[in-house]
């Protein structure tokens, strides 16, 4: 078991601001004992990189499938149709819109929006992530098709359907022009194409079609599994796109979609870089810590996200055979980046850092640098090895500051795009 020191204390002023009754006292967080990352299930140590790759990594992946995210079926061959390809954003980009079917054309389709920098003369690296409010919400670009699928209530959403008023409503989280000017492409898919984000969304999701009508079990996949599956199928398409350097695609996600990005990156080693932003419980934060959102709270509020088996650990996460440092370690030796926000206590920023720190030994075993700091960095002082981490001021969101670090981390990991 791994012991970590509690060396950082949040200064909180939360009187009257904690209606959920969640714990925000670091002294009561607990969770110091983590499952052995470099220790086989039988208790014997993992001593070599080969043992990690061939035995321990598959063992951990199977534990996450059984106890947390559910089993993802084998990938089916995608079908796709490029529905539009046009110059966009005043000549800065070429915008492509692609319909992708993950289980035949009678199954629900996912719609990919792709922006390519027009000035590049060769294939470019890309960021791929899911969005919350439809592709049309990513930018005010009038050429983006308005999503017709179920929507969460929000700006420009009437009776769970998007209207023109929702165009660009999520644009603050997607600095499209900045990404393009840095030499990267951006690909995104509306997460509701894959699984509508409500407790009764399963029948309208991709799961019945992809699973072939298989009966539901306690370890069957659910929304996070479907969102992660969609990310991999989007990568299938990007591998066919000549303008994309498919060997350098970063998978990125915020909040619940950060959980999905981490799970996609763990299962699909084609993703060359994995980024989690404010992913919290069930994402980058350690489950064993009683701080902010907990296993019991997330399973109660969002029973459709994880496998049913995950609910067995409500109120007793210490009995889980895995914790989230092991999820981050499944990305090794590929670069992985974890981003937190100072005011986003619900996501447990310290728990996210400790998770990244505890994943470090696998990177070292594989002969690469892990996290280059031993203490949690101060605000706006990113740490970037093969494992990266930052905490910024502000709340639960994706900001220009976050994207600046993600782009810098990709430049560091891959070299700047030419």
Each residue's pLDDT tens digit in the chain (418 positions)? 443 333 333 333 333 344 468 999 999 999 999 999 999 989 999 999 999 999 999 999 999 999 999 999 999 999 999 999 999 999 999 999 999 999 999 999 999 999 999 988 899 999 999 999 999 999 999 999 999 999 999 999 999 999 999 999 999 999 999 999 999 999 999 999 999 999 999 999 999 999 987 779 999 999 999 999 999 999 999 999 999 999 999 999 999 999 999 999 999 999 999 999 999 999 999 999 999 999 999 999 999 999 999 999 999 999 999 999 999 999 999 999 999 999 999 999 999 999 999 999 999 999 999 999 999 999 999 999 999 999 999 999 999 999 999 999 999 999 999 8
Q: Which fold has domain 110-414?
A: Rossmann fold (3.40.50)
How far apart CA 71 and CA 61 sit, in angstroms, is 10
| Residue 244 CB neighbours (<10 A) | 22
Predicted local distance difference test score (pLDDT) of residue 120: 81
| Residue 90 CB neighbours (<10 A) | 7
Residue 107's Cβ-count burial label (10 Å; 0-12, 13-18, 19+) is middle
Helix ranges (H only) for 28-122 are 49-51, 57-64
How far apart CA 1 and CA 39 sit, in angstroms, is 9
Q: How far is CA 351 from the centre of its chain?
A: 16
Predicted local distance difference test score (pLDDT) of residue 354: 98
Closest CA to 171 of 357, 12, 403: 403
Name 47's Cβ contacts closer than 8 Å, sequence gap at least 6.
none
Of the candidates 120, 171, 198, 396, the residue annotated as catalytic is 396
Predicted local distance difference test score (pLDDT) of residue 229: 98
Does the predicted model carry a pTM greater than 0.85?
A: yes
- In the structure encoding, which two tokens stand for residue 181, read together? 């000017």
How far apart CA 294 and CA 253 sit, in angstroms, is 20
Rounded-to-10 torsion of CA 393, 398, 401, 403: 150
Predicted local distance difference test score (pLDDT) of residue 20: 64
How far apart CA 289 and CA 209 sit, in angstroms, is 37
Of the candidates 169, 255, 276, 340, the residue annotated as catalytic is 255
67 is catalytic: no
15 strand-pairing partners: none
Q: What distances in angstroms separate CA 156 from CA 101, 113, 134, 152, 396, one per listed residue? A: 27, 20, 11, 10, 21
166 is catalytic: no
How far apart CA 294 and CA 169 sit, in angstroms, is 30
């Amino acid at each position: 078991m791994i012991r970590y020191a509690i060396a950082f204390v949040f200064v909180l002023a939360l009187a009257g601001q904690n209606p959920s009754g969640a714990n925000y006292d670091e002294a009561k967080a607990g969770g110091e004992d983590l499952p052995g990352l470099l220790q086989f299930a039988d208790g014997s140590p993992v001593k070599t990189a080969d043992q990690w790759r061939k035995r321990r990594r598959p063992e951990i992946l199977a534990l996450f499938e059984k106890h947390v995210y559910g089993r993802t079926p084998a990938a089916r061959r995608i079908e796709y149709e490029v529905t539009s390809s046009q110059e966009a954003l005043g000549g800065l980009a070429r915008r492509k819109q692609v319909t992708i079917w993950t289980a035949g054309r009678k199954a629900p389709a996912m719609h990919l929006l792709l922006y390519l920098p027009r000035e590049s003369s060769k294939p470019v690296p890309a960021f791929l992530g899911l969005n919350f409010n439809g592709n049309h919400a990513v930018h005010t670009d009038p050429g983006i098709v308005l999503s017709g699928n179920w929507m969460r209530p929000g700006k420009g959403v009437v009776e769970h359907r998007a209207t023109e008023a929702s165009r660009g409503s999520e644009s603050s989280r997607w600095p499209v022009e900045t990404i393009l000017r840095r030499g990267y492409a951006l690909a995104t898919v509306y997460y509701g194409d894959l699984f509508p984000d409500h407790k009764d969304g399963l029948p309208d999701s991709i799961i019945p079609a992809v699973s072939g009508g298989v009966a539901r079990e306690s370890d069957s996949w659910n929304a996070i599994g479907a969102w992660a599956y969609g990310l991999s199928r989007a990568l299938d398409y990007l591998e066919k796109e000549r303008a994309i350097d498919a060997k350098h695609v970063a998978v990125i996600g915020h909040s619940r979609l950060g959980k999905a990005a981490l799970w996609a990156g763990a299962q699909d080693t084609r993703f060359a870089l994995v980024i989690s932003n404010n992913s919290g419980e069930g994402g980058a934060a350690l489950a064993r810590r009683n701080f902010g959102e907990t296993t019991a709270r997330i399973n109660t509020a969002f029973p459709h996200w994880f496998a049913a088996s995950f609910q067995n650990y409500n109120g007793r996460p210490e009995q889980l055979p895995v914790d989230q440092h092991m999820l981050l370690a499944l990305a090794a030796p590929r670069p992985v980046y974890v981003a937190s926000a100072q005011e986003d206590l619900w996501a447990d920023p310290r728990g996210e850092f400790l998770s990244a720190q505890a994943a470090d030994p696998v990177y070292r075993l594989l002969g690469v640098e892990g996290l280059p700091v031993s203490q949690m960095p101060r605000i706006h002082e990113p740490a970037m090895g093969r494992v990266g981490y930052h905490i910024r001021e502000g709340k639960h969101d994706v900001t220009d500051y976050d994207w600046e670090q993600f782009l810098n981390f990709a430049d560091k990991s891959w070299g700047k795009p030419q």
